[in-house]
Amino acid sequence: MKYLASDLDGTLLNEEHGISEENIKGIIEFKKAGNKFIISTGRSLASIYDLFSDYPEIEYDYIVACNGAIVLDKDKNIIHSKSVRNDIAEDIFKEFIDNEDVCVHFESEGEHYLVDSNIPDLESVSQEMRDLYNHFKYRVSKEELFNNVSEREYSIISLFSKNADKHVAEKAKNILLDKFGDSLEAFRNQFFVDIAPKDCTKGNGLKKILELNNVNEDKLYAIGDSFNDISMFNLTENSFTFHYAEDGVKEIANNHVSSVEECIKKIMN
């Protein structure tokens, strides 16, 4: 039995944020052969469930969500759960809320929020970025953000460059690690920075699944496209990324492919 852990955005999902027929067929064949399929993503559970409600034919066995902060099985039994502490969330907000280059995003109780004062003039950004800002439907004022900071449970906190600049995101990630690295993990994911509780990574989440099933790392296969996937690649030799991935990611992954379907074919051959 083999275990395949797949990232979502930029990996299993295409540019339209859907799953191709080829990838669907590949997963179904992989499962029919008696293997286990794991979703491993920076997304929250609410976002994952919403996505896969459109793909009932895809059966997953485990979920590693929020970059390893939450791990659970297909029946929603929790294997691991940890949140960013509220005092750390407040420190992050204070550090970046007035930043001219970075936008603060958080998810709480299944809803995505941006802070009004932190959003740029949408006429000054690309259509792609306007679509992103509009995707995050809810807004809070700066006052509301800090007045209720200790009452919220944050399933996700992330930062992103206001004009999709990867260098801006890299700088923000380094600030986070320099100032708060004892209390959190931070990973650049394209022009986003994913933030997770300390010691929560996709790789550590997968370790918990392997330990639960008494399975060695050589049975694990992992595919992803960005820096938050490297912890998976460090866990197993059976690591896959894409020809289009950034060089820093391709240097770590041992195999380069064009799709999840191609990855599955290589695994099953």
Q: Which residues pair with 246 in a beta bridge?
A: none
The predicted structure's pLDDT at residue 162: 95
**Residue 44 DSSP class:** -
> What are the backbone angles phi and psi of residue 45, rounded to the nearest 5°?
-60, -40
Check residue 66 and give its pLDDT: 95
Q: Are 3-81+200-268 and 86-197 in the same CATH fold? A: no
- Burial (CB count <10 Å: 0-12, 13-18, 19+), residue 78: exposed
Helix (H) or strand (E) holding 192: strand 192-197
b/e burial code for range 249-262 (CB count within 10 A of at least 16 → b): bbebbebebebbbb
**Could you tell me the residue ranges of all domains in the chain?**
3-81+200-268, 86-197
Arithmetic mean of pLDDT over the chain: 96
3-81+200-268 placed in CATH 3.40.50.1000: yes
Whether this model's pTM surpasses 0.85: yes
pLDDT of residue 109: 85
pLDDT at 192: 96
Instruction: Give the residue among 177, 162, 155, 163 at the shortest CA–CA distance from 227.
Output: 177
In this structure, are strands 138-140 and 36-40 parallel, antiparallel, or unpaired? Answer: unpaired
Which stretches of the chain score pLDDT less than 50? none
What's the confidence (pLDDT) of residue 161? 97
Q: Quick one: fold of 86-197?
A: 3.30.1240
31 in Cβ contact with 37 (< 8 Å): yes
Enumerate residues 6+ apart whose C-beta is below 8 A from 232.
5, 40, 202, 203, 206, 222, 224, 239
* Counts of helices then strands in the chain (DSSP H, E): 10, 14
User: Could you give the strand order of the β-sheet that contains 156-161, starting from the edge strand earlier in sequence?
Assistant: 138-140, 111-115, 102-108, 156-161, 192-197, 184-189
pLDDT 10s digits, 33-44: 999 999 999 999
pLDDT tens figures, 176-235:
999 999 999 999 989 999 999 999 999 999 999 999 999 999 999 999 999 999 999 999
